[in-house]
């Protein structure tokens, strides 16, 4: 069985659990924080909802740079509504599943790098 196929089963299980969590974020309390220094519930929800997009980035390229020279720095998505958050999550899941389905074991073993400008945060195989 190809590595990507095995990963899809685990991915689906995790994404189903995560979606159930995101479905419980109420619009009326999206700005609630457990502590003044904490992220709001909405900020945490959109952060979690957009995590699958990192999978897309890892499958489609060899690196991601938070602060590329001569270009705007990466900025996190902003929370708008619970429905929009779920739409972004579902779109990310579909994109990752599609990308995984067409990725060979050799490609899963290739290196992917996360950078902040010239600083390399880490380099590891895509499958990691």
Q: Which two tokens stand for residue 108?
A: 């899963």
The number of CA neighbours under 13 Å toward the Cβ of 68 is 8
Is the pLDDT reported for residue 1 higher than 80?
no
Q: For residue 19, what are the CA distances in angstroms to 46, 55, 116? A: 12, 16, 29
pLDDT per residue as tens digits for the range 101-127: 889 999 999 999 999 999 999 999 998
Count the domains in the chain: 1
What is the residue range of 43's domain?
A: 3-61+78-107
Neighbours of 82 (CB within 10 A): 19
pLDDT per residue as tens digits for the range 54-94: 999 999 999 999 999 999 998 999 999 999 999 999 999 99
Q: What is the CA radius of gyration of the chain?
A: 16
Closest CA to 32 of 49, 24, 19: 24
Judge whether 68 lies within some domain. no
Judge whether 120 lies within some domain. no
pLDDT at 5: 86
Closest CA to 108 of 96, 119, 116, 120: 96
pLDDT per residue as tens digits for the range 7-50: 999 999 999 999 999 999 999 999 999 999 999 999 999 999 99
pLDDT at 63: 95
pLDDT at 46: 97
Q: Whole-model pTM?
A: 0.88
Judge whether 11 lies within some domain. yes
Judge whether 85 lies within some domain. yes
Judge whether 112 lies within some domain. no
Q: Which two tokens stand for residue 93?
A: 């899941």
Judge whether 17 lies within some domain. yes
């Amino acid at each position: 069985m190809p590595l990507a196929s095995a990963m899809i089963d685990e991915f689906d299980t995790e994404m189903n659990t995560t979606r159930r969590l995101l479905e419980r974020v109420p619009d009326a309390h999206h700005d609630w924080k457990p502590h003044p220094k904490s992220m709001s519930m909405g900020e945490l929800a959109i952060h979690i909802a957009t995590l699958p997009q990192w999978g897309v980035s890892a499958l489609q390229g060899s690196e991601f740079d938070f602060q590329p020279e001569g270009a705007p720095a990466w900025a996190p998505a902003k929370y708008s509504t619970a429905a929009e958050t779920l739409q972004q999550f579902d779109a990310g899941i579909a994109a990752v599943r599609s990308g995984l389905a067409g990725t060979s074991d050799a490609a899963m073993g290739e290196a992917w790098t996360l950078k902040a400008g010239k600083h390399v945060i880490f380099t590891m195989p895509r499958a990691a």
